[in-house]
Amino acid sequence: MKGVGRGWVKVRVEVPDESGGMEFVMHDGRGSWDNPPTWYGHLNYQVFVTSRPPPALLIVTLMNGTINVERAISAADVPQHLAITIAEYVKSYSQLEALIDAHPTQFTAAVLLPILTRLLPFMVATIFGGLVQVPLYQLTQGGATSAVVEQLTRLLFTLEYGGDWARCRPHLQLLYHLCGKVPLVLRHDYLSVFGSRTAFVGRSEAVRQWKILSRGLTFHSGGQQIRLMSGIKILDSWHYEYRLPSCIASPSPLFPDTFDPADRPTQMDSWTYCTYSSMVAFVLVDWLRRGRQNQNLRRIRWLWCFCPSSAAYRRVNELLMASHNNNGVAQWGPGVTIFDKKREGARHERLVVLGSEAIDEGKMAAIWLARERGDGDDDARKIVIFTTESAPHDRTRVAVMGVLGDDLGDTVWWERVER
């Protein structure tokens, strides 16, 4: 029997016009049995896919066979003698957790250790790519097996129930450059910042994720090792002081249509950020472009617009008002993330982060759009381009043109002053 797909399924094979049948478990379209079944080699057998453990999908293709039924299976339905074998192929901690709960006597610490050491780096790579690493050797050496299993379980729980980690990708790329172009290293004690699993789950996703990623985070600045976070305060590059962000439990009047309970509006100093993630992104970009760093994110182009009737001025307005999702006004494209902050007096700054998907592997750029006061009482618009790419910045230019449009892109790139 041959099949294509992935995952474990329970199947029943029957031959028309003959009584009986056979049930067994298949993995990735392949099954095994102790003795050749009666239908083996038959030209007209049928395969009934009676169950499968979610969320794996499997498409079975058979010569002269058809798939009749497919439904979900709970971990309790997995045969006891196959529980450990199936656990070796799971792709998430929740699947493993369900198997352990259903078959607790099968999973001793000695059995779990190799399963967990395989699953952890797989999940880290799946979620974060190469931006995060796990010191697996440090976690698994020098400790009792039960203690190591507990550490690995904590990390897997953190990753599984941490929420939508995709929102952290631009922050991880910024941290990569801020910390000297090295991946972030996860330690086994990240969950301890919350005190308990209940406290961990009780935090909003964005705050929870940032506390995990920023725990113990330091970088070099002015010949010193600087800690970015002090408790829940974050270090401001302008005044070199720790600032206290405050999440808002309801929609902000400055961002009435974008409330996300998982990533809430946040106030810090006199600014209101669209989300907590926006606050973090602005702080990280500030450190990269203005802090006592080695200017990894370099300013390469900028433009002030003071004339409301100019095409550049109007285009900046469009980009400031455009939705975070792709639409007719702004085609942000893959690898592009939008962050916003506003303050009283119609001040609005938008940070467009272009990740490695938009620029090149290991590189990134940012477009800073702003509505602010210029000299005197002029209501000005500003565009600034930053990049980690070396001159002549060809890939950055292509990405910038894609976001700003050809007209504004050319104006900014050649720094044509519009009054």
The H-assigned helical ranges of 261-352 are 276-290, 311-321
Residue 22 confidence (pLDDT) = 56
Residue 81 confidence (pLDDT) = 86
User: Mapped to the 3 state alphabet, what secondary structure does 80-108 carry?
Assistant: HHHHHHHHCCCCCHHHHHHHHHHCHHHCC
DSSP secondary structure, 249-272, as one string? SS-BTTBTT---TTS--EEETTEE
Find tokens 């829940």 and name the residue. Answer: 232
As a whole number of angstroms, the distance between CA 264 and CA 260 comes to: 5
- 8 Å CB contact between 392 and 281: no
Burial degree of 320 (CB within 10 A; 0-12, 13-18, 19+):
middle
Is the whole-model pTM more than 0.95?
no
Residue 233's DSSP bridge partners are: 230
Residue 26 confidence (pLDDT) = 57
Residue 3 confidence (pLDDT) = 39
As a whole number of angstroms, the distance between CA 186 and CA 201 comes to: 19
**Under-50 pLDDT residues of the chain:** 1-6, 32-35, 39, 43-45, 47-72, 419
As a whole number of angstroms, the distance between CA 278 and CA 281 comes to: 5
Task: With CA atoms as reference, report the closest residue to 234 among 251, 248, 250, 213.
Answer: 213
As a whole number of angstroms, the distance between CA 291 and CA 253 comes to: 31
As a whole number of angstroms, the distance between CA 176 and CA 199 comes to: 28
Q: Are strands 347-354 and 365-373 parallel, antiparallel or unpaired?
A: antiparallel
In the chain, where are the structural domains located? 4-73, 77-160, 166-289, 297-413
- 8 Å CB contact between 131 and 169: yes
Residue 248 confidence (pLDDT) = 93
Q: pLDDT digit string (tens) for 236-251?
A: 988 889 999 999 999 9
